[in-house]
Amino acid sequence: MEMYDNENTVKKSFDTSHLPEEQIQAQWAEFIELKKVITEIYAAKQSPLSILDIGIGNARIARHLSGVKDMWDMIGQYDGTDNAMPCIDISNEVIRSLNIQDKVTVHFFDAINLNEWKRKYDLVITTWFTAGNFYPDDFPFETYKDSGIKLDLTENKKFQSIFFNAYQLLNDGGEVVIGACYIDNDNTRKKQEDFYAKIGMSVITSKDDSFTATKERFWSQRFTKEKLYHYLSFVPKEKIVFTPLDTYHYAMQVRIKK
């Protein structure tokens, strides 16, 4: 059972009327930064880009990009993947209703298998905190709260393997972009905890964890620059660029250039 397999949870977490203001603002902040990245790569390449969107959700990014002709003309092909079938279904509905199936295709596919993916891209994106959803397969949701054991995320094999494989899919001049990830601090942790409580979930992590998880199997990691440099140590440091998405250390964009 994946985090987004429950249709009600999917509806609630994608429904902007349930989202705290900082989440909505992070979506727009990351989108604006992403438009700059697309424009920059397009200017260098001088032809429409190919994009892979890992964890496409409800095709939010494709929907907004396709709404602005100036942006959509810079994109030749947009592939999306998700490992939750309800997200594939919603995305397909959105794609049909916007009539963008000439460029956009979605695939039911777990990012952990990206080493099997056959195409190459100018841009591989994973937006709106999806990068923080890559949790160890054996995470004990049922017992974590009372076990007294703390999950040490000095390494996160799943995150490291997904981004290593994503990086191999880049064309020359391409980039992997983590659209938005949480910055690890107490203030952000409290905001995450409030958000999950607001959508009816029970938090099972504490202030000593660098991720927030819930009994309902939501799992969301916060990051520091140092941790990301370590997780992405296959990339030269100068190729990684961090952009804050707000003024209160909540979220940042990470560009990982080839």
Q: Among 33, 82, 175, 184, which residue interacts with ligand SAM (rule: CB under 6 A)?
A: 82
CA distance 35 to 169: 21
Of 19 and 170, CB closest to ligand SAM: 19
CB of 176 to ligand SAM, least distance (A): 14
3-state secondary structure of 86: helix
Q: Among 23, 81, 210, 212, which residue interacts with ligand SAM (rule: CB under 6 A)?
A: 81
CB of 16 to ligand SAM, least distance (A): 10
CB of 47 to ligand SAM, least distance (A): 25
Max CA separation in the chain (angstroms):
56
Site membership for ligand SAM, residue 4 (CB under 6 A): yes
Within 127-186, the residues that bind ligand SAM by CB under 6 A are 127-130, 133
Q: How many residues bind ligand SAM (CB under 6 A)?
A: 21
CB of 168 to ligand SAM, least distance (A): 16
Of 83 and 205, CB closest to ligand SAM: 83
Among the candidate windows 37-45, 80-88, 116-124, 145-153, which touches ligand SAM by CB under 6 A? Answer: 80-88
Residue 210 and residue 222 in contact, taking contact as beta carbons nearer than 8 Å: yes
What residue has token string 């409030």?
A: 194
CA distance 149 to 194: 23
Within 185-214, the residues that bind ligand SAM by CB under 6 A are none
DSSP-assigned letters across all residues of 12-51 = HHH-GGGS-HHHHHHHHHHHHHHHHHHHHHHHHH-S-EEE
CB of 245 to ligand SAM, least distance (A): 13
| C-alpha to C-alpha distances, 76 to 140, 166, 168, 248, 257, nearest whole angstrom | 42, 19, 20, 36, 20
Which amino acid does the sequence have at 248? Y
CA distance 184 to 226: 11
Phi, psi of 50 (to 5 degrees): -105, 135
Of 111 and 235, CB closest to ligand SAM: 111
Rg (CA), the chain: 18
Among the candidate windows 34-42, 76-84, 222-230, 238-246, which touches ligand SAM by CB under 6 A? Answer: 76-84
Among the candidate windows 78-86, 96-104, 140-148, 164-172, which touches ligand SAM by CB under 6 A? Answer: 78-86
CB of 212 to ligand SAM, least distance (A): 13
3-state secondary structure string, 155-217? CCHHHHHHHHHHHHCEEEEEEEEEEEEEECCHHHHHHHHHHHHHCCCCECCCCCCCEEEECCC
Within 89-128, the residues that bind ligand SAM by CB under 6 A are 110-112, 127-128
Within 54-73, the residues that bind ligand SAM by CB under 6 A are 54-57, 60-61
The strand pair at 49-54 and 121-126 is best described as parallel
Q: Provide the binding-site residues for ligand SAM, judged by CB under 6 A.
A: 2, 4, 54-57, 60-61, 81-84, 87, 110-112, 127-130, 133
